[in-house]
């Protein structure tokens, strides 16, 4: 009993500590991301040499407390608890000392020159190793292994063969500056700065939306307005996940926040458990490509490419709408296949899903921040400024919810949750900083461009296929942001060298980095949905990939038809005729592909008809006008034939049924 009480006290102490330090992360980040002194006069923004180590140190403390070796080993290997505690303290000591030295030396470099010595190199290497360990604890092995391989290549590059051989360098001075003591690259470099100063407000926005009631009301109202459709709750899941996902910016976060409500509803309507999980996973993952927020990756994209954030979200709009249209179509065809009919009222559902007046009030908590972000961007505010204005508006608006008025602590809980999410994301970005530093120091992207050029020649299709496969493989099991950064930094030059604009290349990689969350064998969003649905994880992932097949097609569409991106940064001038041409053909492709992956249209599709639909969908996207218009005409005629045959069969069946006594 005493041991149980002691364990409970330790757990409470740890949870309270995580809560308090997460709040510190949230408030320090909030002060420093504001464009002016709106929160606390005469405080912040601090110097980058101070605020970056401060935020990283606090984030490391949060992660060490939550993913403690001592706690984890105490459960499975009680004898190693002391060893685990020693390892936790060692990681904290190494990173704290390294961050302190970073601040001291970088501030000294403002006025004088610092000569890097062996101690600096040792600090850089130990701190990098510590962050790789923490990233492994939080996000699994995938990204951590990439970081380890990258470091191995950095130190052994002069001994590699062929184009992968790097020039000899001074290990002591170069590694210290490349990996750690650098405001541009490395662990404490520019990528970390973008996350702290630009993306942070949007992390808090997503946490506020989840905790203050807007997300739940959004789901209920989405279900209310889609209840007369065959798919009902499946359509509601798509709508709510799109709107919530654009704010939260995380596939798994979105699945957990909305799936606990939508997935049981979808199952009760008569859909298979794996299909229910697949729909939620696919819709949730796409929140990161849905304007107007699109999560942290789009914000980082704007900083890296120097393309205005407003232009990026405009460019992403049509492809995202096309993708969500395909999800709606897939649900319709699956409903037909199962014979599911619409339900006009809520009598067969829980009374908790009945929409009340308060739910419409709670929608203000969703749409007003989104509208605020867009309006602020139109008035010339930076993305961080727009996010902070929206957050400033959302905090008082949250008191429209009686639950918040009753328990104002919910706002602090939301801030703490946002600080915790941000801390975990920083661990992955720290490892990305290592990768960025090594790529910059070794020139590997340029070498890889030569290698891809030798392998593919001038074939844009093959190069894009290599980029797509690389994005899927490198993105498995890791968050979208580090996956996108890793792939675009390596393959970006190879893609743009064949004539694509920077915007198209970045959006292409982002789409496939997002798609990795539903791609077997490591489909993290699908597995999260499967745990809620109670369905087989791998089958759920297969369903998610089938339903979301258009997500794999859309990037090739805007690569060859950049006019659908609407902005001049796409590399082509906007013209109405080419735009309407590809949009009309894309709608036909969505119908063909969505029905083919379900295997049902007006009736069950035989294998040969599935193959024909997929082949016609491919031909319709060929850039040659003769081919794509011929294929479009054939496809429309083919669909008309399918409908005609179906009606003839139904008529014959009706006649037979009436003639029978």
- Residue 380 contacts by C-beta under 8 Å, 6 or more apart in sequence? none
Neighbours of 457 (CB within 10 A): 10
Q: Which range is most confident: 36-40, 55-59, 547-551?
A: 55-59
pTM as predicted? 0.83
For 141-156, the pLDDT digits (tens) are 878 888 898 899 888 8
Give residue 27's pLDDT: 80
Average pLDDT over residues 170-182: 81
* Eight-state DSSP code of residue 213: S
User: What percent of the chain shows pLDDT beyond 70?
Assistant: 89
Neighbours of 361 (CB within 10 A): 16
Distance CA(262)–CA(487), nearest Å, equals 33
Distance CA(509)–CA(661), nearest Å, equals 63
Average pLDDT over residues 13-34: 79
Give residue 442's pLDDT: 83
Longest C-alpha distance within the chain, in Å?
101
Nearest to 546 by CA among 245, 299, 238, 326: 326
For 382-391, the pLDDT digits (tens) are 787 888 888 8
User: At 453, is the secondary structure helix, strand, or coil?
Assistant: helix
| Contact (CB, 8 A) for 154 and 165 | no
Give residue 557's pLDDT: 93
């Amino acid at each position: 009993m005493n041991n149980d009480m002691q364990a409970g006290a330790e757990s409470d102490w740890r949870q309270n500590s995580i809560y308090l330090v997460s709040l510190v992360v949230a408030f320090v980040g909030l002060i420093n991301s504001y464009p002016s002194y709106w929160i606390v006069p005469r405080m912040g923004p601090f110097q980058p040499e101070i605020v970056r180590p401060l935020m990283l140190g606090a984030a490391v403390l949060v992660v060490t407390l939550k993913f403690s070796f001592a706690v984890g080993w105490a459960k499975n290997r009680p004898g190693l608890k002391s060893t685990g505690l020693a390892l936790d303290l060692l990681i904290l000591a190494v990173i704290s000392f390294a961050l302190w030295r970073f601040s001291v030396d970088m501030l000294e470099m403002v006025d004088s020159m610092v000569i890097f010595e062996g101690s600096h190199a040792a600090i850089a290497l130990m701190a990098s190793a510590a962050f790789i360990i923490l990233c492994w604890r939080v996000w699994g092995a995938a990204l951590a292994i990439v970081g380890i391989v990258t470091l191995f290549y950095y130190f052994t590059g002069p001994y590699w063969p062929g184009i992968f051989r790097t020039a000899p360098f001074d290990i002591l001075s170069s590694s210290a500056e490349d990996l750690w003591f650098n405001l541009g690259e490395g662990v404490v470099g520019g990528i970390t700065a973008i996350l702290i100063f630009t993306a942070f407000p949007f992390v808090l926005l997503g946490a506020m939306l989840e905790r203050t009631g807007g997300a739940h009301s959004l789901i209920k109202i989405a279900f209310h307005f889609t209840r007369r459709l065959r798919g009902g709750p499946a359509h509601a899941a798509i709508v709510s996940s799109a709107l919530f996902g654009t704010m939260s910016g995380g596939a798994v976060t979105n699945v957990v926040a909305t799936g606990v409500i939508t997935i049981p509803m979808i199952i009760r309507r008569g859909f298979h458990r794996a299909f229910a999980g697949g729909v939620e996973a696919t819709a949730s993952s796409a929140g990161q490509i849905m304007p107007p927020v699109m999560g942290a990756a789009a914000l980082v994209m704007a900083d890296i490419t120097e393309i205005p954030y407003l232009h990026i979200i405009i460019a992403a709009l049509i492809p995202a709408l096309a993708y969500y249209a395909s999800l709606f179509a897939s649900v319709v065809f699956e409903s037909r296949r199962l014979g599911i009919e619409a339900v006009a009222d809520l009598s067969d559902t829980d009374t908790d899903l009945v929409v009340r007046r308060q739910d419409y009030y709670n929608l203000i908590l969703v749409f007003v921040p989104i509208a605020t972000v867009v309006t602020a961007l139109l008035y010339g505010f930076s993305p961080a400024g727009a996010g902070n204005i929206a957050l400033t508006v959302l905090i008082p608006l949250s008191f429209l919810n009686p639950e918040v008025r009753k328990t104002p602590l919910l706002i602090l809980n939301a801030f703490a949750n946002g600080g915790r999410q941000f801390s975990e994301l920083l661990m992955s970005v720290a490892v990305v900083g290592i990768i960025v530093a090594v790529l910059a120091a070794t020139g590997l992207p340029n070498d890889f461009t030569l290698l891809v050029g030798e392998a593919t020649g001038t074939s844009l299709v093959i190069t894009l296929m290599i980029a797509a496969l690389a994005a899927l493989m490198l993105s498995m099991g890791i968050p979208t942001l580090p996956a996108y950064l890793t792939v675009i930094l390596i393959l970006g030059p190879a893609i743009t060298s064949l004539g694509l604009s920077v915007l198209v290349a970045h959006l292409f990689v982002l789409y496939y980095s997002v798609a990795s969350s539903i791609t077997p064998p490591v489909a993290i969003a699908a597995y999260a949905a499967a745990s809620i649905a109670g369905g087989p994880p791998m089958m759920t992932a297969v369903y998610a990939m089938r339903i979301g097949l258009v997500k794999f097609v859309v990037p090739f569409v805007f690569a060859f038809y950049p006019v659908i991106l609407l902005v001049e940064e796409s590399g082509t001038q906007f013209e109405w005729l080419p735009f309407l041409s590809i949009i009309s053909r894309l709608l036909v492709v969505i119908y063909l592909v969505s029905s083919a992956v379900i295997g049902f249209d007006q009736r069950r599709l035989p294998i040969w008809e599935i193959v024909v639909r997929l082949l016609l969908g491919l031909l319709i996207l060929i850039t040659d006008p003769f081919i794509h218009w011929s294929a479009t005409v054939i496809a429309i005629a083919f669909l008309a034939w399918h409908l005609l045959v179906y009606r003839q069969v139904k008529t014959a069946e009706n006649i037979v049924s009436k003639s029978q006594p």
